[in-house]
Structure 1
Amino acid sequence: MSITGKKIAFIGAGNMAEALINGLLSSKIVSAKQITAFDVNTRRLNWLKDEYKINISASNTKLIEKSDVVILAVKPQILSEVLEKKNKIINDKLVISIAAGISTQKIESYLSKKTPVIRVMPNMPAVVCRGATAICRGKVATKTHAALALDIFRSVGYAILVEEKLMDMITAVSGSGPAYVFYLMEAMIKSAIDGGLPKYKAINLVAETVRGAGELVIRGQELPGKLRKRVTSPGGTTEAAIKIFDANKVNFTFLTAISAAEERSKELSN
């Protein structure tokens, strides 16, 4: 199932939907005329139309009827309402859901047994085409359906196919992960400002440090642990900081926090 020529419907036109629209158009794997969006916020919808030259619809019923792929980009708490109202017309489409914590089994329960469902866990950096996304297949979704979904989400960054049983862990690690990085950055920026550095310089210095560190890992030079040891000279400034981290069990705190996020994801799924 190639995305070429497919008509894509977005139900919901928030930040993640916009990120995907921008990524799809920037990568040129689809044209603007293949994309149609619906949202209850008409001002937002009209802005997307003007910005990206996509189609918009005042009715999600008509939108779904004319589409091949339906991307559910609504909040988890209203997903069931959308599916209950539109289950009869959505049944012959490929359904891709980015609603956090909603299993393929739950989505499938509203649809016919033949409807292919893909569940996706993207993250915030997708809005700058640096996202990290995991996708999984429902019962009847094929490898071909998964390949199409991967094409879509690789337009906004890195995307992988996983088993659904891993999605709660992935939600905790990469879905929530940007917040952990921002949390660390907040402390680094505050330290720099408290030390006398102007705010904008502190922000840029820390942001570039994080980006550079990530790039070193992505390029596969060495694992993070080895890279950390390379920076940490015996008796040096970095070692002094790492000793404080270790004394305060920062590593353990991170592991505990991520575990709590995973458990919360499981609770929301149920």
Structure 2
Amino acid sequence: MSIGFIGAGNLARAIVLGILEKGVFSSQEVSCISGSGKTARALSLEAGIGLSSSRLELLNQSNTVILAFKPQHLDTITEEEGNAAKGSLLISVLAGRTLASLRSAFPLARNVVRVMPNTPSRIGKGVSAYCFENPPTNDDREIVESMLGALGASYEVNEPQMHIVTAVSGCGPAVFFQFIDFVAQAAETHGLERSLATQLAIETGIGSLELMKQSGQLPSELVDEVVSPNGVTHALLESLKSADWSETIHKGIDTAVNRSEELSRPAG
């Protein structure tokens, strides 16, 4: 078994370190290459994995290939490189790149997998959605699920669902980060130090989400447990409702889905 990474940025690094730590692959089975070579050299030294001299060399030597470079660089894959993936399992974390576009670039791959991870994957707390081009063998499914397990939770979806998945879990971290920042900004106007306000908001978010996860209760049920009639929380939520907070979120999700669909369409 050999696995090669084309691209060695933050996400590739998270995957490599995760699969090595969990024993999914050994360092002798993993190699990488990057555009400039700088990040690949750094990852090779840090993780003790192989460093390929070219994409073609890596493709010829790997039976599982991870595409982890910038999405637009898929168009730079040459015909020779694409054919070199003959018989390989191809796993892509390239945002917006469809199974059809991946198959076009690597026509002889044994199967193609599209993955949508998110940024918390860097610390093993992410969530990834994935879809196979064709029904996978048990071995290929195990490879994909073991790799994604090193990043956090993972869920199989069908490809059309990737657009809404992108909006919810792909864009979601930025929404949470922005919300925390808005709360901290508001708290600062009431005399609380920005750093303390940020930490309070972060810890509140972590605890609340963990409570929701462990309790198995619906979000609406947990809201009802916090809200007292005419209390402080009630006043805050009523203010948000009057500002059409729900409609704003719906509109944002719709916009993200539409943009994801646009980016997935072939150019021209």
2:194 aligns with: 199
Is the CA contact (8 Å cut-off) linking 2:131 and 2:158 kept in structure 1? yes
Aligned residue among 237, 246, 252 for 1:251: 246
2:171 aligns with: 176
1:44 aligns with: 39
Normalising by structure 1, report the TM-score.
0.92
Aligned residue among 104, 109, 122 for 2:117: 122
Is the CA contact (8 Å cut-off) linking 1:118 and 1:146 kept in structure 2? no
Amino acid at match of 1:266: E
Is the CA contact (8 Å cut-off) linking 1:150 and 1:159 kept in structure 2? yes
Gaps of 5+ in 1: 1-5
- Moved beyond 6 Å, runs of 4+: none
Q: Deviations over 1:59-104 (max 9, x none)?
A: 1111111111100001111112226451110121000011111111
Q: CA deviation at 1:141?
A: 4.1
Is the CA contact (8 Å cut-off) linking 2:88 and 2:109 kept in structure 1? no
2:85 aligns with: 90
Question: Aligned partners of 1:235, 1:136: CA distance in 2, in Å?
Answer: 47
Which deviates further from its counterpart, 118-127 or 194-203?
194-203
User: Do structure 1's residue 159 and structure 2's residue 135 form an aligned pair?
Assistant: no
Aligned residue among 216, 220, 230 for 1:225: 220
Matched position secondary structure for 1:159: strand
1:3 aligns with: none
Q: CA deviation at 1:212?
A: 1.2
2:129 aligns with: 134
Question: Aligned partners of 1:133, 1:101: CA distance in 2, in Å?
Answer: 14
Q: Deviations over 1:182-235 (max 9, x none)?
A: 111111111222322333322221111111121122224311111112111111
1:35 aligns with: 30
Is the CA contact (8 Å cut-off) linking 1:11 and 1:72 kept in structure 2? yes
Matched position secondary structure for 1:91: coil
User: Do structure 1's residue 11 and structure 2's residue 1 form an aligned pair?
Assistant: no
User: For this pair of structures, how many residues does the alignment match?
Assistant: 265
User: Do structure 1's residue 24 and structure 2's residue 4 form an aligned pair?
Assistant: no
Q: CA deviation at 1:113?
A: 5.6
1:73 aligns with: 68
Amino acid at match of 1:19: A
RMSD value over aligned CA atoms?
1.6
Q: CA deviation at 1:140?
A: 5.8
Question: Aligned partners of 1:144, 1:230: CA distance in 2, in Å?
Answer: 46
Normalising by structure 2, report the TM-score.
0.93
2:97 aligns with: 102
Gaps of 5+ in 2: none
Matched position secondary structure for 1:145: helix
2:230 aligns with: 235
Change in Cα spacing, 1:141 to 1:83, as seen in structure 2 (3 Å) is farther
Question: Aligned partners of 1:232, 1:74: CA distance in 2, in Å?
Answer: 46
Change in Cα spacing, 1:57 to 1:103, as seen in structure 2 (3 Å) is same
Question: Aligned partners of 1:85, 1:219: CA distance in 2, in Å?
Answer: 50
Calculate percent identity across the aligned residue pairs.
Answer: 32
Is the CA contact (8 Å cut-off) linking 1:108 and 1:115 kept in structure 2? no
Question: Aligned partners of 2:253, 2:10: CA distance in 1, in Å?
Answer: 24
Amino acid at match of 2:171: S
